[in-house]
Structure 1
Amino acid sequence: MFSVVASLPTTARGVTTRITTGLRLRGREEGDDVGRRRRQQQQQCCSSLCFCCCGADGGKTFTSPDEKKRPTKGRRPFLSSPPHLTTTKTTRTSSRRVFDVSTKAVAYPNEREDKQQQQQQQHEREHHQQLIKKGDRIPTSSLQYFDHEGNLQSIETSQLCSKGKTIVVFAVPGAFLPTCTNKHLPGFIDLAAKMKQAGCDLIACVSVNDAFVMDAWGKAVGAAPVLMCGDGSGDFTRKLGCELDLMDKGLGVRSRRYAMIVKDGIVEYIEMERGGAFTRSRAEDVLQVLEEIKS
């Protein structure tokens, strides 16, 4: 183009230059008009919706007339934040929308811990109220044992502690456990004859184990004078309120260690250990109480 203009005469060259300059100015003015119209359109939009151009108006972004004509089928809807994580509140003030987002921290683990703690406290209160004590009647439940012929038998506690009988019942946290095997059960085996002389009709050992385990444990330690009763489901222990939580030791829920004397189905004497201790439910103490009752 410059070569063509240079080859023209001086008069024609000046006319061409003026035409080229006019075209450039006209194009610049048209570009300025387009930019001005766009700015005016954005100002009008922003006067009614705050932050609409950046999409911060709660999902109501500005849409051009062309976009309004587009079909909405298949378009992904606006997904608001989950109600339990954020709380969105939109207020209108003098024809302007003020978008306010207040986050709410949801501490689900803390809520679960609080709920579990409340349930545990309620469980302890209920068990404290149901804890067997002197003067209470033995609750009705079923225990299993093996007789001398090796047959599995089931007996109701009401039949075991029936009227006219004096029964000694002691419980251990579990069969084959060290304290239960070496101290608690052997004491009642050794003093079984003296207890019968003092008026005891039957000595029963109860544990939250099945009857097969109790039978094997009794044979291992020679517990023939003691009836080895299995409370496999823990129903009898639960009704006494004597559950012992040994989950942290991998033993599940067992029975607290205790010893009691039941006469005519009524508790005449009971000593309940705390945890797995062995200080108050010894056979010697039970024998002394039996002799006092007889005299």
Structure 2
Amino acid sequence: MTIQIGQTIPDIEVAVVDGNAAVERLSTTRLFAERKVVMFAVPGAFTPTCSERHLPGYVKHFPDFQARGVDVYCMAVNDAFVMKAWAVSQHVPPGLKLLADGNGSLTKALGLEMDGSAYGLGMRSRRFALYAEDGVVKLLNVESPGELRVSTAETMLTSIQH
């Protein structure tokens, strides 16, 4: 079942890539505790829409999120080595964290997995963005297949204005 507004992000350990710092394994409870966070997910690092439009929008608007006291995490069902290489290739600034959900554990716990086997991708995350405060989901925008509208940086900035 898909996570719902008002529910807490499941406690799952993920690999965290943050700039040039060493990759560390952290629990989502620790990552979301006492923070305002936008977490967006992509079907895969280095895939066309993810690399050309989705992540670049968050890189561009990262200072706008920071100005509002909102952390930004990008999650994908990829290993930490791929996520680190993607961060370098996309010029991801320190502080914008990439979460490597290599086995899809967090994706499955959120109920937001998709079967990309027809494209040779296996199990991946659906494209989505959520906003959470202290680990509690306040907003969840899940994209329809093949779309990039409701999970963009611009949409999330507009949606979380207080």
The alignment's TM-score, normalised by the length of structure 2, stands at: 0.94
Change (3 A) 1:150 1:264: closer
How many residue pairs match? The answer is: 161
Q: Indicate the residue corresponding to 2:28 in structure 1.
A: 157
> How far apart, in 2, do the equivalents of 1:221 and 1:169 lie?
17
1:254 is aligned to 124
Retained in 2: the 8 A contact 1:243–1:254? yes
Deviation at 1:166, TM superposition (A): 0.3
Instruction: State the percentage of identical aligned residues.
Output: 37
Name the larger-Rg structure.
1
Which residue of the partner structure matches residue 70 of structure 1?
none
Deviation per CA, 1:246-276: give whole Å up to 9, x if none.
Answer: 1011111100000111101100111001224
Cα distance in 2 for partners of 1:142, 1:237 equals 12
Which residue, out of 205, 221, 238, partners 2:74? Answer: 205
Question: TM-score normalised to the size of structure 1?
Answer: 0.53
Q: Corresponding residue for 2:60?
A: 190
Gaps in structure 1 of 5+ consecutive residues? 1-129
Structure with a larger share of its residues in strand: 2
Determine if the alignment matches structure 1 residue 142 to structure 2 residue 13.
yes
d(CA) in 2 for partners of 1:255 and 1:276? 13
Deviations 1:180-221 (CA, angstroms, capped at 9, x unpaired): 001100111111111111231x21100000010000001001
Q: Is the 8 A contact 2:149 2:155 kept in 1?
A: no
Partner AA of 2:45 in structure 1: A
Cα distance in 2 for partners of 1:186, 1:148 equals: 15
CA distance in 2 between partners of 1:219 and 1:229 (Å): 14
**Which has a greater percent of helix?**
1
Residue 150 of structure 1: how far off its partner (Å): 4.2
Over residues 66-121 of structure 1, what are the superposed CA-to-partner deviations in whole Å (9 max), with x where a residue is unaligned?
Answer: xxxxxxxxxxxxxxxxxxxxxxxxxxxxxxxxxxxxxxxxxxxxxxxxxxxxxxxx
RMSD: 1.3
Indicate yes or no: 2:162 matched with 1:278: no
For residues 289 and 186 of structure 1, what CA distance do their matches in structure 2 show? 19
Q: State the AA in 2 paired with 1:287.
A: L
Does residue 1:216 correspond to 2:85, yes or no?
yes
**1:124-172 Cα deviation digits (max 9, x unpaired):** xxxxxx201211110110110234454221010000010x210110000
Gaps of 5+ in 2: none
AA of the residue aligned to 2:119: K
